[in-house]
């Protein structure tokens, strides 16, 4: 079996990075739900000052739940690692869900209900798909006043995310939205989708922190970035599922390359 | 929300499918969502390391890599894997051999290691990586924390295979200071150049310290190494290797072993016993790898 995809499959993700609660505009979870219906996965990363104080981040968990994504709460020094892990794991999770649903249909049990030795093959397949799938990702960065001393780390983390994404087999590109957007705007597009590291670095330079936290506006603008790019959007899991139903890249028995990561 | 598991010593981890039971003795290390515990099996009482995570695919992948490599002196051997529930959360784990000893970071913090020993350690690390590469496993998260000086075997062991990938694949687990992409010196993909860079950076960090901040930039890094007290030959090997990122591990092993021979180190009056033991073990390891390479070629 060759490892190539027959039709391009693309996942769409938003990663919201913030250090506090939304304090202006509508419910951010609502925005995440709308985005998810359009086939976009919304993940959230909350930066805490002290490890463990998770109480103010219930909202972020809610956003991730509504957006079908992952929420991670971490102290600032771990931001770079978290951004990459959340991106990777949510790709994995989206594909896993689609495969799991198929599995449930066929066998009546989920991945959890299969002993580890038996599910290894399915996991191999999910992992490979996770590396090969094309990815479009928007980082929505909280640029409110409280983020002032965190912006530099956040910028570095975003640049570093692009380095990691470019090493994947599938094509990846990154867009960037800031909320608030400066000059009284509640959000603005910092960069449209790009895979050019230098281009992104230049655009990131212009970001400055200050103002309230309009998370709703940030998520809404992020999901519009995908629309401008392609008006026809399908839920990510549906795309993955359609591919699987079509029998594309199902693992075949007797694949004698024993080392598939 | 991504949950980070915490298990108190004394807790018993019960496998859901295959009946294994392990009592937690202590936390050995943690990274990302995974935790590694020192455990004893019930009822045998033998000590093992147990890696546990909520990431099903991650645990499965690491287990698969180690199981396929098979038992070998320089890497942990896996014995068992299963699912379990911890605090109402589904977790996945595998059990592997426990290397009794300190990791290199702690060893270096506890006492100053002679440059000669550190260069040999770098050469052996390159040897282990080369051996793994030939088996299709590219170990990329090379750092002192992942190298353990095994007290019983006396040799150097590589732990944490969560970051091992196939050649050319994206490196998913790395430490910025030892990652060439973070220094702007190439892609974050697995190849011998990537590993060579990490090994040389690790060596420079162990020799000089204070090089973990990638913010200083690559030129400043080279400058720091160049102005250091290290011997000329050693500086040349490190700087040349870091600059020319596409070198083979074989060349690296050769140039490191040659440099190690030139560094004086045998004339100190009070050599500690540990040094002697490590040096002997490293010497044996280098000889072994040179033999392995000779056989392969």
Of A54, A84, A261, the CB nearest to B165: A261
Of A126, A167, A169, the CB nearest to B57: A126
The number of residues in chain B equals 297
Which residues numbered 99-158 in A keep a CB inside 8 Å of some CB on B?
111-112, 115-116, 119-120, 123-124, 126-127, 131
pLDDT of A259: 36
B91 and B54 in contact (C-beta within 8 Å)?
Answer: yes
pLDDT of A162: 93
SS3 (DSSP) at B141 = coil
From the CA of A183, how many Å to the nearest CA of chain B?
Answer: 30
Residue contact B188–A124, C-beta within 8 A: no
Residue contact A72–B92, C-beta within 8 A: no
Selection from A33-37, A110-114, B285-289 with the highest mean pLDDT: A33-37
B-chain CB neighbours of A78 within 8 Å are: none
A19 touches chain B (CB under 8 A): no
What ipTM does this complex have? Answer: 0.80
Residue contact A258–B68, C-beta within 8 A: yes
A70 touches chain B (CB under 8 A): yes
A184 touches chain B (CB under 8 A): no
Find, among B184, B99, B78, the residue nearest to A198 by Cα: B184
B-chain CB neighbours of A115 within 8 Å are: 17-18
Structure token digits, residue A249? 């890249």
Which residues neighbour A241 within 8 Å (Cβ) at sequence distance 6 or greater? A98, A101, A102
Which chain A residue has its CA at the smallest distance from B191's CA?
A167
**Cβ–Cβ pairs < 8 A, chains A and B:** 83
What is d(CA B135, CA B166) in angstroms, rounded to the nearest whole number? 10
Higher-confidence position of A255 and B271: B271
**For the segment B156-166, what is each residue's pLDDT rounded down to a tens digit?**
999 999 989 99
Q: Please provide residue A12's backbone torsions phi and psi, each rounded to the nearest 5 degrees.
A: -125, 130
For the cut 70, the answer to whether the pLDDT of residue B194 exceeds it is yes
For the cut 60, the answer to whether the pLDDT of residue A120 exceeds it is yes
From the CA of A74, how many Å to the nearest CA of chain B?
Answer: 10
Q: For chain B, what is the mean pLDDT?
A: 89
**Among B134-143, B192-201, B275-284, which stretch is predicted with the lowest mean pLDDT?**
B275-284
pLDDT of A237: 60
What is d(CA A80, CA A157) in angstroms, rounded to the nearest whole number? 4
From the CA of A231, how many Å to the nearest CA of chain B?
Answer: 31
What is d(CA A252, CA B296) in angstroms, rounded to the nearest whole number? 32
Residue B206 pLDDT grade (very low, low, confident, very high; cuts 50, 70, 90): very high
What is d(CA B261, CA A128) in angstroms, rounded to the nearest whole number? 44
Q: For chain A, what is the mean pLDDT?
A: 84
Of A71, A85, A259, the CB nearest to B136: A259
**For the segment B272-291, what is each residue's pLDDT rounded down to a tens digit?**
556 666 777 777 777 777 77
**For the segment B50-83, what is each residue's pLDDT rounded down to a tens digit?**
999 998 989 999 999 999 998 888 899 999 999 9
A72 touches chain B (CB under 8 A): yes
pLDDT of A4: 45
Residue range B124-151: mean pLDDT, rounded: 94
Which residues neighbour B132 within 8 Å (Cβ) at sequence distance 6 or greater? B69, B75, B138, B139, B158, B164
Residue contact A167–B171, C-beta within 8 A: yes
Which chain A residue has its CA at the smallest distance from B85's CA?
A112
B-chain CB neighbours of A54 within 8 Å are: 1
């Amino acid at each position: 079996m060759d490892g190539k995809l027959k039709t391009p499959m693309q996942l769409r993700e938003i990663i919201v990075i913030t250090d506090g609660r939304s304090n202006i505009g509508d419910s951010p979870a609502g925005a995440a739900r709308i985005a998810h219906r359009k086939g976009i996965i919304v993940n959230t990363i909350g930066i805490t000052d002290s490890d463990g104080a998770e109480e103010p981040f219930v909202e972020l968990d809610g956003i991730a739940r509504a957006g079908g994504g992952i929420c991670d709460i971490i102290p600032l020094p771990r931001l770079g690692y978290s951004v990459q892990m959340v991106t990777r794991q949510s790709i994995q999770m989206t594909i896993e869900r689609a495969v799991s649903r198929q599995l449930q249909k066929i066998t009546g049990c989920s991945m959890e209900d299969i002993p580890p030795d038996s599910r290894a093959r399915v996991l191999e397949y999910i992992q490979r798909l996770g590396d090969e799938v094309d990815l479009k990702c928007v980082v929505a960065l909280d640029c409110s006043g409280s983020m002032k001393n965190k912006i530099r780390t956040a910028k570095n983390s975003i640049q570093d995310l692009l380095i990691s994404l470019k090493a994947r087999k599938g094509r990846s590109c990154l867009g960037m939205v800031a909320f608030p957007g400066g000059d009284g705007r509640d959000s603005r597009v910092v960069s449209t989708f790009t895979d050019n590291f230098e281009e992104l670095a230049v655009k990131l330079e212009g970001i400055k922190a200050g103002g309230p936290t309009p998370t709703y506006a940030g998520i809404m603008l992020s999901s519009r970035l995908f629309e401008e790019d392609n008006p026809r959007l399908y839920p990510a899991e549906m795309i993955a599922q359609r591919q699987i139903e079509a029998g594309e890249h199902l693992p075949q028995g007797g694949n004698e390359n024993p080392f598939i990561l | 929300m991504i949950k980070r598991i915490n298990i108190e010593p004394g807790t018993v981890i019960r496998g859901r499918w295959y009946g294994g039971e392990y009592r937690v003795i202590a936390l050995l290390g943690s990274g990302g969502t995974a935790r590694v515990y020192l455990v004893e099996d019930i009822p045998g009482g033998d000590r093992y390391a147990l890696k546990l995570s909520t990431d099903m695919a991650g645990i499965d992948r690491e287990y698969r890599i180690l199981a396929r490599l098979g038992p070998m002196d320089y890497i942990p051997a896996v014995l068992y894997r299963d699912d379990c529930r911890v605090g109402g959360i589904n977790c996945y784990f595998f059990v592997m051999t426990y290397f009794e000893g300190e990791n290199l970071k702690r060893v270096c913090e506890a006492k100053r290691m002679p440059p000669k020993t550190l260069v040999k350690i770098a050469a052996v690390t390159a040897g282990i990586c080369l051996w793994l590469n030939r088996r299709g496993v590219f170990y990329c998260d090379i750092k002192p924390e992942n190298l353990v000086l095994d007290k019983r075997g006396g040799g150097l062991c590589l732990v944490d295979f969560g970051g091992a990938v196939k050649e050319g694949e994206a490196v998913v687990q790395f430490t910025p200071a030892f990652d060439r992409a973070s220094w702007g010196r190439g892609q974050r993909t697995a190849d011998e150049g990537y590993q060579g860079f990490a090994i040389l950076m690790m060596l420079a960090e162990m020799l000089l310290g204070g090089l973990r901040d990638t913010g200083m930039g690559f030129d400043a890094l080279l400058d720091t190494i160049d102005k250091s007290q290290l011997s000329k030959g050693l500086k040349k090997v490190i700087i040349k290797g870091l600059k020319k990122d596409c070198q083979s591990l074989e060349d690296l092993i050769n140039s490191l072993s040659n440099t190690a021979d030139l560094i004086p180190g045998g004339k100190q009056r009070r050599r500690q016993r540990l040094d002697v033991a490590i040096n002997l073990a490293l010497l044996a390891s280098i000889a072994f790898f040179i033999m392995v390479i000779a056989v392969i070629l």
